[in-house]
Each structure stands twice: as C-alpha cells, then as structure tokens.
Homo-oligomer: A and B are copies of this chain.
Amino acid sequence: MGTRLAELVERFGGQLAGDPDLEVSGIAPLADAGASHLSFLSNSKLRAQALASRAAALIHSPADEEALAAGFAGARIVTKNPYAYFARVAQYFFSLTEVRPAPGIHPNAVVAAGAQVDPSAHVGPFVTIEEGARIGAGVVIGAGCFIGRDAVIGEDTRLFPNVTFHAQCVIGKRGVLHSGAVIGTDGFGFANEGGVYIKIPQTGRVVMGDDVDIGANTTVDRGALADTVIGNGVKLDNLIQIAHNVEIGDHTAMAGCVGVAGSTKIGKHCMFGGAAMINGHIEIVDNVYVTAATMVPNSIREAGQYTGFFPVAPNKEWERAAVLVRNLEKMRDKMRELEKQVKALTETK
C-alpha cells in the first residue's frame, strides 16, 4: 500500500539513513505523524519536536544530521532543502489518489465550431468556449468556466470551476487558475472631459508565461494598447488586482489582497505581503520584498525589504499617537525654538 523509502530517494534524491524497504503512505506534520508517515524538519528551531515525533521517517537538512542521528529512532532522508523535498514527495502522494477529470467535452458544454480543443483536454459542464480559442493537451477546464475568442490555454494548465478567461488572452503550460479568477477584463481607462468619463477601449491582452498560478477571485486586466504581462513561475494568491499594462517578472509571488495599479513594472523574484498596494507607473527592481499592508507610492531601485504601516496599539494609545503624528510640525517647531534658546544661553554664559 505504501511507497518504499528507496523508491522516494530514487525519485527525488537525498541520502537515506535507515531501512530502504520501509514503506510510508503519506506525509504528516511532526506532531501528528504516526508509524506510516513521513514527516519533515525544515526549521531547526523545531528540532525538539522532530526528536519527539513518531514518524516512520524524517526529511531533514545536513545541519540537523548530528542531532537526529543521535536522538531520532526512525529512518531519515538528508537533503539540502527539506521543504522543497517535502513539496515533491507531497505532490507524489497526492498524485496517487487524485481524481483527474477524464478527457473529453461534457455534453453540457458549448464549444464554438472554430475552437480547437485537444482530445486529451477535459471540458466540464456549463463551459463556454468561443470561436478561435485553442485549448492545449492535458488541459482541465472546470465547470462553468468561460473562454473568450482566440484565447490560448497552454498544455496541462488547469482552470478550476467558474474562471473567466477573456478573448485573446494567453496562458502558458502547467498554469493553475483558481475559481472566480477573471483574466483579461477591461482595464480601468477613461478620459475625463468636463468631469464626465469617456471610456478608452482596452485592446491589449493578458499574456502569462508557464507555471503561473492565479488565486481565487483574483483579477488581471487586459492592456490598454499594449499587453499586461505575467512572467514564468509567477504565483498570485487570492483577491489580487493587477491593473492594465502591469508587467510582473519571473518567479515573483504576491500574497492575498495585493493591488498593483496600471503600467507598473515589477522585477523578478520579488515578494509582496498581503494587501501591499503598489502605485501605478512605477518600477520595482528584482528581489524586492514588500511587507504586508505597505503602500508603495514611488519606484524602488534597490533590492531589499520595504515596510510602511502604522504600528497597531490599544485604541487609546493609538489615538494619542495619531494626534501627535498630526502635530509633529508643532513639535518640530518647539524643538527649533528650544535649540535657539539653549544656544543663546550657552553663548551668553
């Protein structure tokens, strides 16, 4: 029923210490793991918990080898990045039980005559696919999704139920679009004439690379004239808003509720904490980490972590601090006055 440790090491590498024929049937956290489980130690601070774990086997790094070899009775797989190793093993166990939807188009889907759907793709009930759309091999399109004209869905990409993917937009291979995501809606573009807004047609696309994940109810607007561009390996969590003509570099990740305003360019390998808000028409270089709940009004030209939120406090304390912040100018002026007076006193002494 389980998988031999030897087979895991053969698939995913690592040094095995212990019985290669030992079988494990799944992964569990240190505290919950039992005799049929593999567990993992990715943070040495949890070493005591690892030593006490009843897991059959542990994935850990060389840094924990000495302690675990001495104190943990089960088998061990030693690897440089135990968390990544855990992810791969978890994917493997998941794949053993996952119910993959069967290839084919559900009779309750509406697929335009001129759309191309690879025979290995799954199209669920109540899906609409418009003219000219191309659905690649191994793609899964969940119930209720909409795919607009000439849209392109790359191989092995999965759309969970109720995704809206508008005309002409493109996603590469192995992407994941979670439920409620809306790709390629019109950007928010209006000209103001005497206080009245005149709509600017949004004729660009959204073009996404390979291995892109888009979270539930996240929205990515199509470009105004040029395209909105999402790089390879970009991971967006739920309820994120990406405005028109934004460009996001490869392997950048954003936590939930982030907003990025129009035409902003974000580098590679950046990370954005939840509800970070990024102004439009700015640039953020590679390897920038913006803390949660931080507003970024201007370009960031140097890698590093950036933060900006008001510190939380019991409400009364905050009220006093807020008043003082609003009156900082007065405080500064008083300070200058004092400086003058002290200077005068010192000189006339």
- A residues near B (Cβ < 8 Å) are 27-29, 32, 81, 83-84, 86-88, 90-91, 93-94, 99, 106, 108, 110, 124-126, 128, 142-144, 146, 148-149, 160-162, 164, 166, 176, 178-180, 182, 185-186, 188, 190-193, 195-201, 203, 211, 213, 215-217, 219, 221, 225-226, 233, 235, 237-239, 241, 243, 251, 253, 255-257, 259, 261, 269, 274-275, 277, 279, 290-297, 304-315, 317-326, 328-329, 331-332, 334-335, 338-339, 341-342, 345-346, 348-349
22 contacts between A and B (CB under 8 A): A84-B193, A84-B198, A87-B200, A91-B200, A124-B128, A125-B128, A128-B143, A128-B144, A144-B146, A161-B164, A197-B233, A217-B219, A219-B239, A275-B277, A290-B312, A306-B315, A307-B313, A307-B315, A308-B311, A308-B312, A321-B326, A324-B332
In the complex, A129→B140 CA distance in Å? Answer: 17
Report B-chain residues with C-beta under 8 Å of the C-beta of A255: 188, 261
Partner of A295, one of B128, B225, B293, B342: B293
Report B-chain residues with C-beta under 8 Å of the C-beta of A269: 195
Query: Given A241-B239, A304-B314: A185 and B160 within 8 A (CB)?
Result: yes
A274 touches B274 (CB 8 A): no
B304 touches A308 (CB 8 A): no
A312 touches B321 (CB 8 A): no
Report B-chain residues with C-beta under 8 Å of the C-beta of A237: 188, 241, 243
Nearest-Cβ distance from residue A146 to partner chain B, whole angstroms: 4
Greatest chain B CB density within 10 A among A179, A211, A313, A349 is at A179
Report B-chain residues with C-beta under 8 Å of the C-beta of A295: 275, 292-293, 309-310, 312
A308 touches B309 (CB 8 A): yes
Report B-chain residues with C-beta under 8 Å of the C-beta of A277: 257, 274-275, 292-293
Q: A125-B126, A241-B274, A306-B312 are in contact. List 8 more A-B contacts (CB 8 A).
A: A108-B110, A162-B164, A180-B180, A241-B256, A274-B277, A307-B313, A308-B313, A341-B346
Nearest-Cβ distance from residue A299 to partner chain B, whole angstroms: 11
> Which are the 9 A-B pairs with shortest beta-carbon distances?
A308-B312, A293-B295, A94-B201, A84-B193, A87-B191, A324-B328, A241-B256, A146-B161, A305-B315
Nearest-Cβ distance from residue A188 to partner chain B, whole angstroms: 4
Nearest-Cβ distance from residue A203 to partner chain B, whole angstroms: 6
Nearest-Cβ distance from residue A334 to partner chain B, whole angstroms: 6
Partner of A325, one of B219, B325, B342: B325
Query: Given A146-B161, A217-B217, A324-B328: A192 and B84 within 8 A (CB)?
Result: yes
Greatest chain B CB density within 10 A among A216, A233, A296 is at A216
